[in-house]
Amino acid sequence: MSEKLIQWKNLVDFCKGILMKLSVTEKDAFMVADNLVSSNLRGIDSHGVARLDRYVDGIKTKYIIPDVKPKIAKESPVLANVDGQNGLGQVIGTFGMELAINKARKSGFGMVSVFNSNHYGYAGYYSMMALKHNLIGISMTNSAPLVVPTFGKNALMGTNPIAVAAPTKKNKPWVMDFATSTVPRGKIEVYNRLNKKMPLGWATDEKGNVTDDAVRVERNLKDLLGGGLLPLGGAGETYGGHKGYGLTVMIDMFCAILSGSNYGPNVVSKKEGKIVPPRVGHMFMVIDPEYFIGINEFRTNMDNYIDELKNSEKAEGEGRIYVHGEKEFEMQERREKEGCPLDDKTVEKLLALSKEFNVPINFIN
């Protein structure tokens, strides 16, 4: 089977249809589907529809509860702590970010932590929600232990991504979105699905040695045999791996220790042979520039800064300098027109779901 193309709207309808077969409301199913397909559109295939079966399995095994709503546990004019009640992470994440946005629109700042949640997709989805209100959005989450500490052998921390989105006037918004590991697990999964060697410096084997064997790393992570992803900066301290290690712990602090969620090695979906909710935590922050320099001047200065970066002298052999988010916006424009490409293993997963739930899927080719 070769790579297939599908129109993004058809992909949204398919994902939504599958989730609705599992007692997810149409509104909530759309939130999850929109998040997944948006990831594919922006070229972040590691967090796209290839993960749909993860949420299906979570609902089937009952560690994800499809019909609960998040609730506010504690609140002030600018702060809140939200109980996700083990629902779908995208629904909980959207609730938390919208709450932070509303607080920022009233008071200039909003900060919302979340506990009892699940995997919420890609972090940039939520930070970009603030852009339509001309606000700065920040989103972060902790996750299952996949990353080894600097000089460590076993995975004790999550990939713990952070995303920041800032509004502009004439340029595309500035959107920084990255895991605090060298790569997210989804990148390893892509190399595993394609049976390709991955770059050295992404992960370690069961002895703590750097490896390019994605199949081995995936197996070790699944069976808890040792090794894992490396912190941002790679192994040791030479290229700043200890800084990525610190960022990872910082996000656990904000998302989990502060909110009352599981953190580090405690974020598991199975304990003593029984399936348990992972109790993931998130943090959302929103800032209104109007309370500082003013929104118009802020957006103008962001444009000026972006222009200075992009128009600066290029290194020898290089033709272009990018800013964060630029490649993803260009990819989105292309894929909205041409369709989203899906690798053969992802197609197999979706076809299996289509057959199981009797929801048709329509590919371009």
Burial (Cβ within 10 Å: 0-12, 13-18, ≥19) of residue 27? exposed
Instruction: Name the class of domain 183-229.
Output: alpha beta
The whole-number pLDDT of residue 142 equals 98
**CATH number of the structural domain 68-180+237-311:** 3.30.1370.60
The whole-number pLDDT of residue 340 equals 97
Over its C-alpha atoms, the chain yields an Rg (Å, rounded) of: 20
DSSP-assigned beta bridge partners for residue 154: 227
Q: Which of 133, 130, 132, 140 is nearest to 163 (CA)?
A: 140
| The CATH number, out of the four listed (1.10.1530.10, 3.40.50.1370, 3.30.470.10, 1.50.40.10), of the domain defined by the range 1-60+336-365 | 1.10.1530.10
What are the residue ranges spanned by the domains of the chain?
Answer: 1-60+336-365, 68-180+237-311, 183-229
Whole-structure pTM value: 0.94
The whole-number pLDDT of residue 143 equals 96
Round to whole Å and give the CA distance between 31 and 333.
21
The whole-number pLDDT of residue 229 equals 97
> Which segments in the chain show pLDDT lower than 50?
none
